[in-house]
Amino acid sequence: MESKPFFRFLFFFIAIAFLFAWTHLHYAPSPGVTTLLDCASNSPWCTSSKNRLQSKQPTLTKTPRASTSQRRHHESAVPRHPLDPLTIQEFNKVRKILSSHALFKSSNNYALHSVVLEEPNKELVLKWKKGQPLFPRIASVIARANGVSHVLTVNLETDEVTVLNTAPPTGYPTMTMEDMTSATWAPLSNAKFNRTIIERGVNLKDVACLPISLGWFGKKEENRRLIKVQCYSMEDTANFYMRPIEGLTVLLDMDTKEVVEVSDTGRSIPIPKATNTDYRFSEQKLQQDLNSVNPISIEQPKGPSFVIEDEHLVKWANWEFHLKPDTRAGVVVSRAKVRDLESGVLRDVMYKGFTSELFVPYMDPTDAWYFKTYMDAGEYGFGLQAMPLDPLNDCPRNAYYMDGVFAAGDGVPYVRSNMVCVFERYTGDIGWRHAESPITGMEIKEVRPKVTLVVRMAASVANYDYIVDWEFQTDGLIRIKVGLSGILMVKGTAYENMNQVEGQENLFGTLLSENVIGVIHDHYITFYLDMDIDGSDNSFVNVNIKRQETSPGESPRKSYLKAVRNVAKTEKDAQIQLKLYDPSEFHVINPTKKTRVGNPVGYKVVPGGTAASLLDHEDPPQKRGAFTNNQIWVTQYNRSEQWAGGLFVYQSHGEDTLDVWSERDRPIENKDIVVWYTLGFHHIPCQEDFPIMPTVSSSFDLKPVNFFESNPILRAPPYFEKDLPVCRPAYSA
């Protein structure tokens, strides 16, 4: 293979097309250099920057259609809804205001770890109507200056900066991209590291490294922001993850870039070969022709049925909701309402929903692996890792693409293009059907197709890819699905075949290929669901399904099932661990709103992806990930409690988690409540996961329960031939 230049020593985001032009992501230059909104219009750099900063779709008021040939002018965007994210102009104003604030003027080294909209109080948003003035726009900022973390707000109308005393006692903010970049370069300054790489037989030009969060395992890791760095060989493959330099770990001070320690415990372990590791289509020697699967495209001759108003308000069928990208959560769905076709009224279902945290503990207690217990949202930023979606492959034709506009560590805004897509899906599923039996003498066959609306994002957090779908159905159901794909994090080994493994030796995983072990691990994705069923004051009901024995002589039956409804009074009453042989339904109801026949209106959480953490609750990773101790939690609404792992997750001790908040045992009956649901996966790797994993998915539902008076899609029309396009196959042309 052709020799690569020295800059091949790069962090993982380059390898997964994350950085700069590879992601269509534009960083403006440092302060003092011409920036997007400061540069002269006749500047060549300014012109090219503007082109890169604009996404590929125009500012259209009511069209969902957006292709890669269209452009949106982000620099002129203005907010139109109280929940709209910060704009380019607002980011620049925040940066300007903070640059003159004493906290930052006195700092030789500061970074903005998060700059997002400080959303107005919920009660204000609920009262706001389109056309009314917006509330004062306020930015919420998490920053580090002179080695100290700060939480502050910036009022964009008054220029007032308020420093809040809300920083947790332990932990650090989400890493910036600059943190991760610099951490992976820093080991090069250490002679021992360089010498070790060369002694392992790897050329420095072929080294790629990952910044790995180290969790928290005791006092020796306190009072300094630390990170671990591990490296791989990129020689002869793009899939460097399959070529680990096993046992080599660098402990680094993230603030000073000082190499604290170099540990090398794997000198006897060979670096796996590159053979058959590359997953790119262009590199496949035998490109399989799957004759049985021709390309499929769902055509919509009349165009999509949904519209996007004012860039963020989605309207489709009987649904309406606000949608925005977020650096930490990925996407945020707010103000979700469904239209009751009986009354014509838009009814509240959910005030806000998003991915709150991801916990990924690996099950290898050895020196180079025990700390791999990732919190992907709070440590790395789930939205920061979102990739531009690939039209036709990530999202089908007629998808609408939404960009993310974020701030870099120095406050300069940039655009993550095509971060979210919205599209209609039809897979041949059935909305409802009934065919009458011939014995009735009635020739009746009624069937309705199921078409849904999908909001999708995909995040590549180093090796792993997560696909998150919010799927809306016309019957009122919301399905939240997570797909796992990408590349396994693997361990090097001396073994090439299982016949070399003696007895019951624990490999901590599966031998996938020669010298490659896929380590066992879990994935937990916790969702924040602020349910507002016909209003904010709701109750949580555990509808327990119990076996009832019949009395002697009562019936030929010995037993039957009955539903026992238990309304949760306090938060501890609503801590749910799912049990196969003690089943329940989990309802969120509005006790003050009843159907015509007297049932309280509600929605129910329909579980799926029910893997549960088996780690000891006193294990340090589980203390930090204690929000996975239950599959369902219900808490009293508190706007400061949104991140299940705490506001500051990095190196936290676990004292600011959902588990801690819930221990307050606040009243939740007929209150404004938040439901938390955790999708769980146990992953024992197998050879089919090598060198890249087929997607595995799981989902849970939010389903109406006595919310409507009857089947809400009863009057949906069937399809007829005249309504559909006729597409002839190529061979018949």
Q: Are residues 127 and 210 in the same domain?
A: no
Q: Where does residue 120 fall: left (phi above 0), alpha (psi -120 to 50 degrees), or beta otherwise?
A: beta
pLDDT at 8: 40
- Give the side-chain half-sphere CA count within 13 A for 641: 22
pLDDT at 63 over 80: no
Question: Mind listing the pLDDT tens digit for each residue in 538-588?
Answer: 999 999 999 999 999 999 999 999 999 999 999 999 999 999 999 999 999
C-alpha of 318 from chain center: 26
Comparing 489 with 19, the larger pLDDT belongs to 489
In a domain, 91, yes or no: yes
Report residue 729's pLDDT band, with 50, 70 and 90 as the boundaries. low
Supply 33's token pair. Answer: 């250099």
**Whether pLDDT at 245 is above 50:** yes
Q: Is residue 373 scored above 90 in pLDDT? A: yes
Active site residue 677: no
Q: How many domains does the chain have?
A: 3
pLDDT at 178 over 60: yes
C-alpha–C-alpha distance, residues 93 and 90, integer Å = 5
> SS3 of 622, please?
helix
**Closest by Cα among 658, 633, 629, 663 to 646:** 658
Q: How would you label 82-101 residue by residue, b for 16+ Cβ within 10 Å and e otherwise?
A: bbbbbbbbbbbbbbebbeeb
335, 205: one domain: no
pLDDT over 90 at 87, yes or no:
yes
Asked whether residue 408 falls in the same domain as residue 465, the answer is yes
CA distance linking residue 216 with residue 200, whole number of Å? 30
User: Within this chain, do residues 544 and 617 fall inside the same structural domain, yes or no?
Assistant: yes
Q: Which phi and psi (to 5°) does residue 369 adopt? A: -135, -20
Q: Which residues pair with 116 in a beta bridge?
A: 140
Residue with structure tokens 């217990």? 373
Q: CA angle 151-153-156, nearest 5°?
A: 155
pLDDT at position 730 is: 61
- On whether residue 357 sits in a domain, the answer given is no
* N-terminal to C-terminal alpha carbon distance within the chain: 45
Residue ending a domain, choose from 263, 283, 303: 283
- 430 pairs with which residues across the strands? 449
Q: Where would I find the H helices in 318-430?
A: none
Q: What is the mean pLDDT of residues 437-457?
A: 92
Q: Return the pLDDT at 81.
A: 98
**Is residue 265's pLDDT more than 90?**
yes
Residue 551 maps to which CATH number?
Answer: 2.70.98.20
φ/ψ of residue 106, rounded to 5: -90, 0
Residues 609 and 700: their CA atoms lie apart, in Å, by 7
Q: How confident is the model at residue 111 (pLDDT cuts 50, 70, 90)?
A: very high
* 191 & 88 share domain: no
- Choice among 464, 466, 528, 650 that is catalytic: 464
Supply angle C-alpha 689, 694, 695, rounded to 5.
125
| CATH number for the domain that contains residue 231 | 3.10.450.40
Task: Give the model's pLDDT for residue 109.
Answer: 86
Number of H helices, E strands in the chain: 9, 32
Omega within 30 of 0 (cis) for the link into 438: no
CA-to-CA separations, 475 to 223, 347, 424, in angstroms, rounded:
53, 13, 15
Residue 392 within a domain: yes
Closest alpha carbon to 208 in 391, 12, 471: 12
Question: Mean pLDDT over residues 346-374, rounded?
Answer: 98
pLDDT over 60 (residue 16): no
At residue 242, does pLDDT exceed 50? yes
- Across the range 137-155, mean pLDDT stands at 96
Shared-domain flag, residues 87 and 144: yes
- What share of the chain has pLDDT > 70, as a percent? 88
Are both 602 and 717 inside the same structural domain? yes
The residue among 110, 136, 163 that closes a domain is: 163
pLDDT at 44: 24
**Is residue 255 annotated as a catalytic residue, yes or no?**
no
In a domain, 197, yes or no: yes
Strand intervals (E) in 270-399: 306-309, 313-316, 319-326, 330-339, 346-361, 373-375
> Is residue 557 one of the residues assigned to a domain?
yes
User: 289 pLDDT exceeds 70?
Assistant: no
10 Å CB burial of residue 263 (0-12, 13-18, 19+) is middle
Which pLDDT score, from 0 to 100, does residue 71 have?
55
Which of the four pLDDT bands, split at 50, 70 and 90, describes residue 284?
confident
Q: Read out DSSP for 227-248?
A: EEEEEEE-TT-S-GGGSEEEEE
Domain co-membership, 525 together with 577: yes
Nearest CA to 162 among 136, 185, 140? Answer: 140
Per the structure, the complete domain to which residue 78 belongs is given by 74-163
**pLDDT of amino acid 416:** 96
Of 206, 264, 326, 376, the active-site residue reads: 376
> What CA–CA distance (Å, rounded) separates 627 from 618?
13
For 273-289, what is the mean pLDDT? Answer: 86
Q: Are residues 626 and 708 in the same domain?
A: yes
Contacts with 705 (C-beta within 8 Å, 6 or more apart), sequence order: 585, 587, 589, 602, 603, 604
Mark which of 113, 128, 163 sits at the end of a domain. 163
Kindly state whether residue 213 falls inside one of the protein's structural domains: yes
DSSP helix/strand/coil, 138 = strand
Could you tell me if 471 and 614 lie in one domain? yes
Q: What is the pLDDT of residues 615-665, one digit of tens each?
A: 999 999 999 999 999 999 999 999 999 999 999 999 999 999 999 999 999
CA distance 8 to 207: 6
Q: 208: helix, coil or strand?
A: strand
What confidence tier does 345 reach under pLDDT thresholds 50, 70, 90? very high
What integer pLDDT is reported at residue 731 of this predicted model? 55
User: Does 142 share its domain with 279?
Assistant: no
633 and 678 together in one domain: yes
Tens-place pLDDT, residues 411-444 = 999 999 999 999 999 999 999 999 998 888 898 9
